[in-house]
Chains A and B, each alone.
Chain A
Amino acid sequence: MMEPGAEVAFHRPRTVQEALALLSADDGAVCLAGGATLVAMMNADLIAPSGLVSLSGIDVLRTAERLPDGAVRIGAMRHHRQTADETLLEDGQQVVREAARQIANTPVRNMGTIGGSIAFFDPAADYPPALVAADAIVDISGPNGDRAIAAAAFFVDWYETALGAGEMVTGVRLPAAPMGSVGVYHKLARVSGDFATASVALVLAMENHTVSHLAVAVGACAPTPVRRPDIEAEIIGNGLDDAKVDRLADALAERLDPVDDVRASAAYRRLVAPRMVKHALCRAAETLGGRQ
């Protein structure tokens, strides 16, 4: 709870520009998206902002639509519940839907937003590996205008994103996935709704037993989601046999940098993540009927 006497400002702007102006005017002010993380931190005395800029009144942040280029744009203020039921997401894009479905629980999914979640960036959260596997683009607005950045570059380090001072996430764009591709999100957690102990997000497309699209990201095992596009590129255009699956799993394992925490030890994460990759990939391939 706040120190008595400290007055915190509260604003509810109607536009992104207004919000940016309010953030610039007070460098102790923060965005209030769903509040699921921010208010929990305030309740625990971990953060004491001088101002709250509520984004719930900015309509353009609350919509989702298909763009002319076939990509799906999800506004930053879309709740996890909405993303979990998002019918616009097709084929491999469903990896993001699957991730949203496994966030926390019903009431938290009614409150939490994709923009709030990725801007805070807990590496054990569910969106980051899914967005990386989906080749998502993050749209940002700031004092110096708008910009877009690949999700893989947006997530920089523990609780650190590419957002600069006064910038905010306005949405996420998911490029169209190959037709017939499958998107899968496997999460190992201590209990339902916990943050991930380790997670695997993947998008796979196969044509005649040949991999035509492959993206695999491991979550919760490093400061950022781990992906090996170089190894993926070796596999694309070929069949998916045990040797290739092992190769990718081992390559991902090489880049893991997990921590010891209350959910598991680093050693266990190193052990289980490649096993989960293999399992998820084999299952996805079976779904597509393409295992060699």
Chain B
Amino acid sequence: MNEAKPFGGGVGESLARPDIREKLVGRARYIADLSQPNMLHAAILQSPVAHARINGYDTRAARAVPGVAAVLTGADFPDGRMGAFIKDEHAIAKDKIRYLGEPVAVVAAETEAIARHAAKLIDIDFEELPAVLSPEAAMIDGAPLIHEDLDTYIKIFPAICGRNVASETELAEGDVAAAWAGCDVIVEDDYKTAPQAHLSIEPCGALADIDEAGRVTLWSANQSVFRVQANVCESLKLPMSKLRCLTPKIGAGFGNKMEPHVQPLVVQLALATGRPVKLILNRAEDFETVRARHPFKIRCKTGATNDGTLVAREVEVLLDGGAYSDDSPGVLGYSLLMARGPYRIPNTRCAGKLVYTNKMRFGAFRGFGNPQVSFAGETQIDEIAATLGMDPLELRLKNMAQPGDPWFGGGKVASNGLGECVAKAKAAAKWGAAPGKATSSTVKCGRGVAFAAHISGLLGTGAIVRMLEDGSIVLNTGAVDIGQGSDTVLTQICASALKIPVSQVALASPDTDGSPYNWGTTASRVTYTTGRSVAAAAKTVEAEIKKHAGELLECAPVDLELREGGKVGVKGVPDKEISFLEVSLRAHWAAGGPIVGSDTWVFDQPSVDPKRAIARGLPFPQIGVYSFGCVIVDVAVDTVTGKAEVSEAWAAMDVGRAINPAAVEGQIEGGFVQGMGFALMEELIWDGGRLVNPSMMDYKAPTFRDTPYAIHSIIVEEPEPDGPFGAKGVGEIGLVPVPAAIANAIRDAVGIQPRSLPMTPERNLRAMLERDDAA
């Protein structure tokens, strides 16, 4: 892609986001801030048990409450099924309850208080069934089936599934079984990671309005207006032309808002009442009914020769998917694809299962399975290094995937800046020097490193670049900015491509009526995939501009060049030029028609080369391009309590090209802290079928005081040939290596080997005392 000089906020500038002012003065409007005239408020009723057959409902008392406009139960909802990979989920519990807390009924009333009060008066006649609460229990012969009709569900990929197993996947290269014999050192262990809550500060909610023709307009906290539209229409059996999905400002996603929450409920209520309906989940409901990060059980085995060459790796994972499959098949497949890590390991086999249980669904969360398998794989690399007496960074460098190496499975890797990430992180951290001084005699310090790779891409995207009559631009991509900064970045790409200031580019808000399809803000994909489309659409506009200008300036388009400030002129003739205004006026009124450039695109490079690798049950044949990273962390461990804290960190990420450096740093820093929370303290806890800590009192994430200021983000740019201005993604990779780097640092500090996340004071202290006893 063309280089563009930064101009008025173009590529490479840390431009402020276009909505910065409204966010700073409290005028940004999130879903809870919206209202419509004559609006009703809705509330859900949640199930009291984890697994049950629903026999009937008694809603008379609820309907009799003054101010109640509608009471809907599963019986009142169409029986459509939605689901990103396996269509196993109704809009609301229907005939069956599958997790404790699952919405079973919904009420719309004049006020939220009335709706909540009335919901509590609904009586559900149910017959409790034995609950299946772990993947192991779910796989026992004769275990109760959570989805009796699993075989009849539509699946969008060749799922290997049956009974309570929703998906089985395997990816292998080389000959792992034979390779162990050639290893001098083998490390094999079991690892566990806990479920993590996204904890977006904004809880989920939606508002549906309906017009006289029965067409619904829906706003919701979301990461994709198109996924909202598809999910609502599939579950409610509504033609998609009957639903228009819009987006308010979003108070963060991280994956919890990528698939549906209450949207189908408010739409059905709007259809039933003929009035606008708004439903905002309270924090407990948000914890209990949306989704969370999959807990993983991992068996990891890595073998090497005495000189530190990695020879083989075998990874087996078991995922608790919860009651509905949601994005889980994708998480399973992706985790296996990433479990080898950015290394040359000729013999690798990664396999796993996704199992239904009677718990809330688990789904997409920043990293999408990669953080979990990286925790196992990257700590195991350190164990091998320790066994061989090698520096863990040197061992990694020795085996690192080099530019040109394909990924595990054979996917082509076109840009690989890992080497530069390592060099820069190593230098900035002064690797080899001891970590920061202990603050007291009872605090021990340690240092750890981990590498990461992550893929940006997946599924379809588009862009429309339209020139207004005065030569300024409207950009429409359908991409939802969830706070990560895509609005800014896409505007910068468009502006730079056309050599105009960003102030000349307006951004249309995502609208399923008018925006080109965009799968969603997820998978670190928007800068790369949508950015590509924006650049391509801008190229079309450039061609149109030159066609018109060629006529006006009487020369061939090939002799023309775009000039900064919205002008086009003859190459080599500085004073022969015209403005975009003149070009646009000609297009609108005289010839050719209004200038519109559009592009649609889907990544089509296969992830698996059947000549290299065997794949079974892989849920996606093609994904995207590769980003790389290296994180070094210093930790301090309090030997009295076992509590570990991060004192400093260096996170170097190869992002291809930093369209907006401050925004890239924001992703690296935010990803680091979310990974740190996952590593040290965050854990959703179930007691039987009941989620024990669905509140911010009981589920804790890092505050300012738990987070080191000294997180140094280091941007590396190894241009991705097909990326817009060379860019690829950064949204998730900042989180991926963090738990492993912290674990490696804790090991360095106090000589324990964490195998379970989170690494709480209790787990650390027990391991330290066991280590003392063993000594």
Q: Please list the residues of chain A having a beta carbon within 8 angstroms of any beta carbon in chain B.
A: 1-4, 44, 105, 188, 190-194, 197, 262, 264-265, 268, 271-272, 275-276, 279
Interface centre among A2, A4, A194, A276 (most CB of B within 10 A): A4
**B156 interfacial by beta-carbon distance below 8 Å:** no
Which are the 4 A-B pairs with shortest beta-carbon distances? A192-B705, A268-B762, A262-B698, A191-B700
Place the interface of chain B in its size category.
20 to 34
- Given A3-B117, A262-B692, A275-B641, answer yes or no on A191-B681 (Cβ-Cβ < 8 Å): yes
- The CA-CA distance from A3 to B65 in the complex, in Å, is 11
Q: Which one of A105, A193, A279 lies within 8 Å of B640 (CB-CB)?
A: A279
- Given A3-B117, A275-B640, answer yes or no on A190-B703 (Cβ-Cβ < 8 Å): no
CB distance from B504 to the nearest CB of A (A): 43
Check if B762 sits within 8 Å of A191, measured CB to CB: no
Check if A191 sits within 8 Å of B67, measured CB to CB: no
5 contacts between A and B (CB under 8 A): A188-B643, A192-B703, A193-B705, A265-B762, A275-B640
Residues of chain A lying within 8 A (CB to CB) of residue B111: 4
- Given A1-B113, A4-B67, A188-B761, answer yes or no on A279-B685 (Cβ-Cβ < 8 Å): no
Check if A272 sits within 8 Å of B698, measured CB to CB: no
12 new A-B contacts, CB < 8 A, other than A1-B113, A1-B116, are: A4-B113, A188-B641, A188-B643, A191-B706, A192-B704, A194-B700, A197-B761, A271-B769, A272-B641, A275-B640, A275-B641, A279-B640
- The CA-CA distance from A44 to B764 in the complex, in Å, is 34
- The CA-CA distance from A4 to B121 in the complex, in Å, is 13
Check if B685 sits within 8 Å of A190, measured CB to CB: no
- The CA-CA distance from A275 to B695 in the complex, in Å, is 30
Q: Which one of A4, A192, A194 lies within 8 Å of B117 (CB-CB)?
A: A4
Residues of chain A lying within 8 A (CB to CB) of residue B701: 191
Residues of chain B lying within 8 A (CB to CB) of residue A197: 761
CB distance from A40 to the nearest CB of B (A): 8
Residues of chain B lying within 8 A (CB to CB) of residue A44: 284, 695
CB distance from A195 to the nearest CB of B (A): 8
Residues of chain B lying within 8 A (CB to CB) of residue A190: 681, 700, 760
Residues of chain A lying within 8 A (CB to CB) of residue B692: 262
Check if B698 sits within 8 Å of A1, measured CB to CB: no
Residues of chain B lying within 8 A (CB to CB) of residue A1: 112-113, 116
Residues of chain A lying within 8 A (CB to CB) of residue B706: 191-192
CB distance from B691 to the nearest CB of A (A): 11
- The CA-CA distance from A271 to B760 in the complex, in Å, is 14
Check if B113 sits within 8 Å of A2, measured CB to CB: yes
Residues of chain B lying within 8 A (CB to CB) of residue A3: 113, 117
- Given A3-B113, A262-B693, answer yes or no on A279-B442 (Cβ-Cβ < 8 Å): yes
Residues of chain B lying within 8 A (CB to CB) of residue A279: 442, 640
- The CA-CA distance from A276 to B638 in the complex, in Å, is 11
**B130 interfacial by beta-carbon distance below 8 Å:** no
Q: Among residues 670 to 706 in chain B, which have CB atoms less than 8 Å away from a CB atom of chain A?
A: 681, 685, 692-693, 695, 698-706
Check if A191 sits within 8 Å of B703, measured CB to CB: yes
**B114 interfacial by beta-carbon distance below 8 Å:** yes
Contact with A along B111-125 (1 / 0, CB 8 A): 111101100000000
Chain B residue with Cβ nearest A43: B282
CB distance from B68 to the nearest CB of A (A): 10
- The CA-CA distance from A265 to B766 in the complex, in Å, is 12
Check if A276 sits within 8 Å of B640, measured CB to CB: yes
Check if A264 sits within 8 Å of B762, measured CB to CB: yes
Check if B765 sits within 8 Å of A272, measured CB to CB: yes
Check if B113 sits within 8 Å of A191, measured CB to CB: no
Chain A residue with Cβ nearest B442: A279
CB distance from A3 to the nearest CB of B (A): 5
Q: Among residues 100 to 119 in chain B, which have CB atoms less than 8 Å away from a CB atom of chain A?
A: 111-114, 116-117
Residues of chain B lying within 8 A (CB to CB) of residue A271: 765-766, 769
Residues of chain B lying within 8 A (CB to CB) of residue A265: 762
CB distance from B45 to the nearest CB of A (A): 14
Chain B residue with Cβ nearest A192: B705
- The CA-CA distance from A268 to B284 in the complex, in Å, is 27
- The CA-CA distance from A272 to B693 in the complex, in Å, is 23
Check if B685 sits within 8 Å of A262, measured CB to CB: yes
- The CA-CA distance from A3 to B114 in the complex, in Å, is 7
CB distance from A106 to the nearest CB of B (A): 11
- The CA-CA distance from A14 to B575 in the complex, in Å, is 82
Contact with A along B460-471 (1 / 0, CB 8 A): 000000000000
Residues of chain B lying within 8 A (CB to CB) of residue A192: 703-706
Check if B641 sits within 8 Å of A276, measured CB to CB: yes
- The CA-CA distance from A193 to B703 in the complex, in Å, is 9
Residues of chain A lying within 8 A (CB to CB) of residue B705: 191-193
- The CA-CA distance from A194 to B695 in the complex, in Å, is 13
Residues of chain A lying within 8 A (CB to CB) of residue B703: 105, 191-193
Residues of chain B lying within 8 A (CB to CB) of residue A105: 703
Q: Among residues 742 to 775 in chain B, which have CB atoms less than 8 Å away from a CB atom of chain A?
A: 760-762, 765-766, 769
- The CA-CA distance from A116 to B113 in the complex, in Å, is 28
- The CA-CA distance from A272 to B763 in the complex, in Å, is 12
Residues of chain B lying within 8 A (CB to CB) of residue A264: 760-762
- The CA-CA distance from A279 to B642 in the complex, in Å, is 13
Chain B residue with Cβ nearest A40: B697
CB distance from A26 to the nearest CB of B (A): 22
Q: Among residues 58 to 104 in chain B, which have CB atoms less than 8 Å away from a CB atom of chain A?
A: 67
- The CA-CA distance from A1 to B117 in the complex, in Å, is 9
Residues of chain A lying within 8 A (CB to CB) of residue B681: 190-191
Chain A residue with Cβ nearest B705: A192
Chain A residue with Cβ nearest B769: A271
Q: Among residues 724 to 758 in chain B, which have CB atoms less than 8 Å away from a CB atom of chain A?
A: none
- Given A192-B705, A262-B698, answer yes or no on A268-B765 (Cβ-Cβ < 8 Å): yes
CB distance from B389 to the nearest CB of A (A): 33
- The CA-CA distance from A268 to B763 in the complex, in Å, is 9
Residues of chain A lying within 8 A (CB to CB) of residue B699: 262
